Amino acid sequence: MAFRVLQISDTHLSIRYDHFAANVEAVRRHVVAAAPDLVVNTGDLCMDGAGDAADLDLAADWHASLGAPVRAVPGNHDVGDIAAIRPDQLVDDARLAAWRTRFGGDFWAMDVEDWRLVGLDAMLFGSGHAEEERQYAFLAHAAATDRRLALFLHKPLFIEREDEGPRGYWTVKPAPRARLFAAIGAADLGLVASGHLHIARARPIDGVDHVWGPSAAFVCGPIQEDLGGERVIGLAEHVFAGREVVSRFVRPEGVADTPLDPVHDEIYPRTAEPETVA
């Protein structure tokens, strides 16, 4: 019996800005009508949950309206980031507690079919926070299984290959990436599903399906470097059956590929760190 997961990402819900509300509402309607077995949001649920907990409250209410079980992992706009990227919004105890109060664990595991779905807090990687070590231990324990592994996290692990160098704001840094793969060990990794880039791309790399889930809110224009894939609004569907998974992108009725660029400086005022884009 197949298990169907709808992956939404980068909803960027906000109490202050409604520039992208029509897209997010169209995605919500689609999810409600589709009635999946599980919804996974791969981060940036909020526009500024790391700065204002009211955005987290809004996101919690929005996800409760989907009519399906929901799991989520945080993005940089939900719990902050590492010092090299957002020294003014670091991942810390208060931000993690605010997330966990509303959404449960920021890393988690659940078994479906012959798979173990593992959600990871990408914002802990390279943070130096004590929870980073606990997450590596958690991942090693979760990977000690005969089931296939599917990872869900906000930032992609890499753009083109596992051993590539740093890609700035866009991916997990090389050192924590190496530790992540070491924690997985010999486990049968079959899927890595991420968000963050506001790009739809599905590509098998070294026998693993790497799926970038598109944003439910906005796309980036020239403000973002060319990373491949399609800059479209939508979501990803993953159907798990036995030890197989089939992934596809879905474009809900009523969405438009609304660009961030014209309102970027209004929503994200320039800081000392120019890497903060989406």
What is the mean pLDDT of the segment spanning 115-130? Answer: 97
pLDDT higher than threshold 50 for residue 133: yes
| 177 closest CA partner among 210, 215, 144 | 210
pLDDT digits (tens, 9 = 90+) for 57-114: 999 999 999 999 999 999 999 999 888 888 889 999 999 999 999 999 999 999 999 9
- Residue 276: the pLDDT is 45
Strands 38-41 and 70-72: what pairing?
A: parallel
Q: Which helix (H) or strand (E) holds 97?
A: helix 93-103
Check: CB of residue 24 under 8 Å from CB of residue 66: no
Can you read off the two tokens belonging to residue 15? 């109490």
CB neighbour list of residue 216: distance below 8 Å, 6 or more residues apart? 8, 9, 10, 11, 12, 23, 24, 27, 233, 234, 235
pLDDT higher than threshold 80 for residue 272: no
pLDDT digits (tens, 9 = 90+) for 222-266: 999 999 999 999 999 999 999 999 999 999 999 999 999 999 999
